[in-house]
Amino acid sequence: MAYTAKDYTKLAGMEGFSETLLKNHFTLYQGYITNTNKLLDTLAAMLKDGKVGIPEYSELKRRLGFEFNGMRLHEYYFENLGGKGAINKSGRPGKKMAEDFGSYENWEKDFKGTGTMRGIGWAILYQDNITGRLINQWINEHETGHLAGSVPILVLDVFEHAFMIDYGLKRADYIEAFFKNIDWVAVESRLK
């Protein structure tokens, strides 16, 4: 079963995101789909030919975390965008953030602090699937730092391609624009 790219063109026109930036971002996302399919097919063919345990096989296995997570994290990201209006702090996500971080404002400060860390990657609000606790986490590139079994609740892309066309080096301004467009209904639907 091959993966197929989802259509996020409905995000066009979001305040603070130019059409050029979004179009480039969608194209990039499609590249992760192509490469995930290619890697899985190649690995399956190598397995069939008994080519496991050779360096080429190992390197493709390592690469899969990058391509697959590049695909899936973009889907979480695009799907938690397109909303309008600030969070309702008395809704479920707001209450849970206040419970785990002391206040919604503390959660936001920590999430933005994670998103402005130097480096390329993602800021992800995770919910620990065992305890239900919320944790803001930095993911290096696409594959390093994930919390095993935890569920991504809010996903923010901070690779330079996500903002440089519109904001240059001003990543914090991009994060402000991101916050204006969070789909809090989507966020709540991911929460346990």
Separation between Cα atoms, residue 148 and residue 28, nearest integer Å: 26
Sites of contact with Fe ion (CB under 5 A): 157, 159, 162
Distance, first Cα to last Cα, the chain: 29
Q: Shortest distance, CB of residue 175 to Fe ion, whole angstroms?
A: 14
Separation between Cα atoms, residue 106 and residue 99, nearest integer Å: 10
Q: Shortest distance, CB of residue 57 to Fe ion, whole angstroms?
A: 28
> Any residues with CB less than 8 A from the CB of 31 and at least 6 apart, and which?
none
Q: Which is nearer to Fe ion, 110 or 157 (CB)?
A: 157
Q: Shortest distance, CB of residue 134 to Fe ion, whole angstroms?
A: 23
Q: Which is nearer to Fe ion, 156 or 162 (CB)?
A: 162
Give Rg (Cα) of the chain: 18
Q: Which is nearer to Fe ion, 27 or 129 (CB)?
A: 27
Q: Shortest distance, CB of residue 77 to Fe ion, whole angstroms?
A: 7
Separation between Cα atoms, residue 123 and residue 100, nearest integer Å: 17
Q: Which is nearer to Fe ion, 157 or 183 (CB)?
A: 157
